[in-house]
Structure 1
């Protein structure tokens, strides 16, 4: 390959949610040169703009197309879609903009992430968002991300809200304040009927800045580390190899899978694993790729007694609710929502789209932890992803409680006009053993991967509380991989806030 060299103040690897924030904010200073590298295409697929088309993006050119290993106790792999292209996963996800309960953020501080609790992140949540309504003390008014709730909710969504009231769940005045439990209308990243990705909100409006360079279709091969300091990156575009030099800092924002993969390819990670693959060890950090956590999901599926009207937004989940699996739960550790389609794994029978609907439940505080490891030392190769779902029995106990809560919601009077036979798990699945068996058969990922480069102060932490990679100067990580423990919500809104706070840390 031909090679060339260029110099920047900051290099950001990955134009996902965090990368778009970083590039836009850091380039506000006209005297600062910023390079943003993205492995995907500059041009999104047409389906990105249409909220209800998001399921078609899984497996597309805008998805890395990852799968887990064969899951222990489940016996199959699980698809792990993640965004590839401008906006990253914010361009292919289901558009939910959801904040976690404050207690799940404060748990980060308990885990050693001082300065990353709810009160610390609140100004950055507010800086991110443009919200109409809500308490201005906790909600933003002028941020780049405009959020929307459906003004004409699907009749099943209205039924879900009514059912929540009927079975005694609290109705939150603002489910995104981080201060309430219960059910509320879901905020979605939709503007004038179209998806607003991180690229739409942050990056595209500033791409004409002369101090900001965006390179797409750029596969980053490794970070360049010289004398214990990260001085740049090597990447290729087609057959052209480029060494980009950085005078201030390199920021890796490649996501929960991509970030530990790049660190390990660069010799930063667990030394035994790196040596097995013939990679020279730059920094022995055993926590790289460890602490992987995701929100597992299961579903209760009903046949519909009448034809289901078409949906206009994101296919349901216009109402979400948080509940506790039991009195010992540290925060609302279960999320429930109603989807207009029958969400089932391909291995289970059930109604086809248009003939059934779903009450979904996901565990927001799983104890199980997995890992991301390299399969080869080749850049761009798929990683070995092992989430180890349900390997901690407490997760099965909580999810069994969640199934019962989903059934209670689904059998409320508000659904009487819609509810036909229970297709999954089926009325014969009642006792604890049967419920646990169904949980394994029906497992789905909620695609909320996090934790593989966690913040902390112990030997297993990858970054310190300023997001600096331990043992390597001039290198930070800014994305969902730094989350020490799960949050009680979809992850995208929190990634925006992490990135906004990271900008202040980089400037300080």
Structure 2
């Protein structure tokens, strides 16, 4: 549960200098970094439980955490491009999605962040954010020009790879792809055992690496099972939040500012419930408009990963280990692209959507499209809940790239490296693009990388400025994946840590 007790303000309400909403990947970093200054009082609020348990620590059982009490159990509306509603995995616990995800730790490519700067986010180019990536980690296996030393996180690749993971790397080399490089270096390409957030054999999240050591500080209060209902204002200034704690509605005030770190679904949802967002949407949901901010809940992005491309094996090939997906490949979907747009993660067990049929024994090629063109929305329903529409495959370019990714995966599956494990060729081998496209539409799954719904920028449609300050509202910032102006081209956890590290400096230094 919580450590310490909130500091009462003169009128009996709970108060701190800074109130951080959401103790997930970003919020845990923020609370730890801000309270390094003993003069700064921080209250960190988390809707979910404060849990460290075997089910969270065990590294290969993470799929079983979805749709439990540590998951928000979000779901999209039925997607026109797929014909299905899709689960949107979001962690609901101290540590957030870092307690429930697949533990991949990949930064993205330099072009991702240079694009942010090009889009008007001054100070977010690769050279400017690299020190924050480095500050977050202890990665002695990497080149010190690019990787960190002595930071809180311990990203490492698996050392003793599963036999099938070894076969995957051999298959990639057989087809001429680069192999063995650091996929968190300055030019990540090809196949490698990528960094995982596994330390001493158990899951490592920012709740453990950053927040746990900070919780002994008297200027930090962590309150779990505290669901924030809305933001509070005095004119155009955010002054605190209203939360439900232990069955009681409580006001928690912030003398300096409130920082939202509730994620790309939770953050826009809280803004909308508080009357900040597109005026027409708010009025339709019956919410009084506090400030018309058309960009809230817009530009929602996610990576698609295809499930169900599973190859049949006659028997189980070794026990599950690590995070089930120790190796991956970053590549282009077509020649001439300036940057990667595909990720093929190898999963050494069957992995599928509930509506797909796969062999009992086998291994899966998970094809991720990492530069989606489709954009969606988070809106507010009349019941106050989130309506999530990623518009998966709305843009035909996304479908084209995924078809290309399936073809690469099928070629990998047919290599000599996989011959000892291949019972038969996959039925899609030798089929047309139209047949593969039909498979793609039925194989779509959320990669769990929601972002962009409160994007940062200097243009009129941006929700926060490059210092992460909410436009038109004083005393309010956002520091989570929702501010990404364009989703990074790898898993989003490492970039979210970086955002929080930089946000702490932006808050500390004005």
TM superposition shift of 1:178: 3.5
4+ residue runs over 3 A deviation: none
Give the counterpart of 2:222 among 214, 222, 236: 214
Paired position in structure 2 for 1:395? 398
Deviations 1:395-449 (A, max 9, x none): 11111111111111121111110112345xx237721211211110111111111
TM superposition shift of 1:278: 2.0
Paired position in structure 2 for 1:82? 90
SS at match of 2:306: strand
1:370 to 2:371 alignment = no
SS at match of 1:146: coil
Q: Distance in 1 between matches of 2:289 and 2:428?
A: 55
Q: Distance in 2 between matches of 1:445 and 1:214?
A: 30
1:151 to 2:159 alignment = yes
Paired position in structure 1 for 2:313? 304
Number of residue-to-residue matches in the alignment: 498
Most deviating of 427-436 and 253-262:
427-436
Give the counterpart of 1:236 among 244, 255, 270: 244
Q: Is the 8 A contact 2:121 2:456 kept in 1?
A: yes
Q: Please show how residues 276-287 of structure 1 align to structure 2 within 5 Å.
A: 276-287=284-295
TM superposition shift of 1:172: 4.6
Paired position in structure 2 for 1:130? 138
Give the CA RMSD over aligned residues.
1.4
Q: Is the 8 A contact 2:410 2:429 kept in 1?
A: no
Question: Unmatched 5+ residue regions in structure 2?
Answer: 1-10
Give the counterpart of 1:384 among 384, 387, 412: 387
Q: Is the 8 A contact 1:64 1:81 kept in 2?
A: yes
Give the counterpart of 2:266 among 240, 258, 267: 258
Q: Distance in 2 between matches of 1:442 and 1:412?
A: 23
Deviations 1:236-261 (A, max 9, x none): 11321111111111000000000000
Q: Is the 8 A contact 1:100 1:178 kept in 2?
A: no
Deviations 1:53-78 (A, max 9, x none): 21111111110011110111322211
Deviations 1:322-375 (A, max 9, x none): 1101124331100012111112222222212xx111111110001000111111
Q: Distance in 1 between matches of 2:242 and 2:290?
A: 16
Q: Distance in 2 between matches of 1:392 and 1:400?
A: 13
Q: Distance in 2 between matches of 1:333 and 1:408?
A: 18
1:409 to 2:389 alignment = no
Q: Distance in 2 between matches of 1:408 and 1:51?
A: 29
Give the counterpart of 2:364 among 348, 353, 358: 358
Q: Please show how residues 35-50 of structure 1 align to structure 2 within 5 Å.
A: 35-50=43-58
SS at match of 2:381: coil
Paired position in structure 2 for 1:330? 338
1:446 to 2:447 alignment = yes
Q: Distance in 2 between matches of 1:327 and 1:151?
A: 33
Paired position in structure 1 for 2:499? 498
TM superposition shift of 1:174: 1.2
1:418 to 2:426 alignment = no
Paired position in structure 2 for 1:194? 202
Q: Please show how residues 20-59 of structure 1 align to structure 2 within 5 Å.
A: 20-59=28-67
Paired position in structure 2 for 1:64? 72
Q: Distance in 2 between matches of 1:19 and 1:495?
A: 10
Q: Distance in 2 between matches of 1:183 and 1:246?
A: 47
TM-score by length of 1: 0.96
Q: Distance in 1 between matches of 2:481 and 2:12?
A: 32
Q: Distance in 2 between matches of 1:387 and 1:109?
A: 25
Q: Is the 8 A contact 1:305 1:417 kept in 2?
A: no
TM superposition shift of 1:46: 2.5
Paired position in structure 2 for 1:109? 117
Q: Is the 8 A contact 2:81 2:391 kept in 1?
A: no
Q: Distance in 2 between matches of 1:445 and 1:350?
A: 19
TM-score by length of 2: 0.95
Q: Distance in 1 between matches of 2:96 and 2:474?
A: 27
Q: Distance in 2 between matches of 1:428 and 1:325?
A: 18
Most deviating of 109-118 and 442-451:
109-118
